[in-house]
Amino acid sequence: MINEIKKKIAKIDYIAIGTLLESYRLCGKANCLCKTSIKNHAHGPYYILTRKYKGKTITKSLNPQQAKLFKKALKNMKILNQLLEEWKLASFTYIYQIE
Ligand SMILES: [Zn+2]
């Protein structure tokens, strides 16, 4: 059981904690399409990452490729937490059955 969990954890590459905001903007130029239709021609998406580090909030803008990787890292973090929970339970199960 524990070996299975370890194998799954070994496959995880990137992990992250934080919040990703996707925003669209209007540039304000008079002849830009975004002025005619906000819904269809707004610029973006722009990605803003917010995370806590040593008690401080860090904000950073990400390009689409970075955003994609960060989303994957968030998903991996969830999986890792689940696996750690399973590992804990499996450990208790093992410890309890020792006479
Ligand atoms: Zn524009």
Q: How far is the CA of 24 from the centre of ligand 1 (A)?
A: 10
- Ligand 1 centroid–CA 31 distance in Å is 8
pLDDT in tens, 40-79: 889 999 999 999 999 999 999 999 999 999 999 999 999 9
Residue written as tokens 């919040």? 19
Which ranges of the chain does DSSP label H, i.e. alpha helix? 2-10, 33-36, 38-41, 64-96
Predicted local confidence at residue 89, as pLDDT: 97
Q: Which residues surround ligand 1, an ion (CB under 5 A)?
A: 27, 32, 34
Residue 32 Cα to ligand 1 midpoint, Å, equals 5
CA of 39 to the centre of ligand 1 (A): 12
Q: Is 40 exposed, middle or buried (0-12, 13-18, 19+ CB in 10 A)?
A: exposed
Q: How far is the CA of 58 from the centre of ligand 1 (A)?
A: 28
pLDDT at position 40 is 82
